[in-house]
Amino acid sequence: MTMQRLMWMEFFKLRKRMMTWVVAGVTIGLIILLYTIIWSISGKAGSFRDNGSIVFYSQLRRSLFLEAGVPFSLQIVATFGSLLAIILAAGAAGGEYSWGTVRLMATASSGRLRLIIARFIVVAGLVALLTLMTAIVALAYSAIITQTNGGSDFSFITVGFVKDQWLAYGRTLYVMLPFVSLAFAAAVIGRSTLAGVGFGLGVFFVEPLVSELMRVGGSRWQHVPNYLLSTNRNVILLQNKFPPYLPRFSFGPSARDLQQQGAYAPTGAAIILGVYIVVFLTLAFVAYRRRDITAGTGA
């Protein structure tokens, strides 16, 4: 009951916060915008290169149809949505410090540990809800595109297909969680939204570059990226199934690249990401629970 109460309180605050609605609007708007852009540029004949493969514009257009709607939109959410999820998580944890409400809430709630756990659960829940809403919007857009371009007999919708869509949704959420946890922990430990956003986005953008440098750096360093976030995130995202007649548009290395680099299998990658989530959250929970709160913004 206590946890439910605290989670409801956290949800009440986040629901009333403009930032939550801005993040939701931007995520959904981004999907609509990208779908519209892709639709408008994919009408021409010809091809382009993606990760070394030749992709025809007609194939790109087919990605917007219902069969590919969910994994394609989730691929976009996993990249751009992660950035917004980082901002949401950092804002939820760091805002308490900048407003000075950390003390108010610490004395009004039944235990600091419960409060911070409830806050994280609600943030993670909102990220899941936003991702689902985005996939639903993408599906709706795909349905319109499909119906206005010859329609479909929906024969592709099988139990296996539905299961694959849910698995893709679960995988996408899972790869976002380490970044959400990192932003959350950094905001708590750094006592500010800025710390959370800075660390979260910094790692999101800089880590792949550092990984590339390490791979170039030689034997001592080349295996280190296999233990970092971006490589394992890519391994898991590559498990999301696309229709066989479509190429996979990715925002990272291909499966072949990852294999050559000696990346872990999906189970290993999931375990590594899980360890990161546990470590980041433990740091956040311990810091929040044990640290003195000597002023509104914490000591």
Whole-angstrom distance, CA of residue 197 vs CA of residue 98: 14
Residue 209 neighbours by CB distance under 10 Å: 10
x/- track of binding to another protein for residues 113-152 (CB under 8 A): --x-------------------------------------
By C-beta, is 67 or 96 nearer to another protein? 96
Q: Which stretch binds another protein (CB under 8 A): 55-63, 95-103, 200-208, 248-256?
A: 95-103
22 binds another protein (CB under 8 A): no
Whole-angstrom distance, CA of residue 235 vs CA of residue 81: 18
List the interface residues with another protein, window 255-294 (CB under 8 A).
290, 292-294
Q: Rounded to the nearest 10 degrees, how much is the dihedral formed by the CA atoms of 193, 275, 239, 48?
A: 50
**Helix (H), strand (E) counts: the chain:** 13, 2
Q: How far is CA 96 from the centre of its chain?
A: 23
* Cβ-contact 113, 289 below 8 angstroms: yes
Q: What 3-state DSSP class applies to 50?
A: strand
Whole-angstrom distance, CA of residue 168 vs CA of residue 202: 26
x/- track of binding to another protein for residues 42-81 (CB under 8 A): ----------------------------------------
CB of 200 to another protein, least distance (A): 22
* Cβ-contact 267, 172 below 8 angstroms: no
By C-beta, is 77 or 88 nearer to another protein? 88
295 binds another protein (CB under 8 A): yes
156 binds another protein (CB under 8 A): no
Question: Residue 50's beta-bridge partner residues?
Answer: 53
CB of 6 to another protein, least distance (A): 6
Q: Which stretch binds another protein (CB under 8 A): 15-23, 122-130, 136-144, 232-240?
A: 15-23
Whole-angstrom distance, CA of residue 235 vs CA of residue 169: 15
Among 105, 188, 229, 284, interactor with another protein by CB under 8 A:
105
Question: Using CB under 8 A as the criterion, which residues of the chain lie in contact with another protein when the complex forms?
Answer: 1-2, 5-6, 8-9, 12-13, 16-18, 99-101, 103-111, 115, 290, 292-296, 299
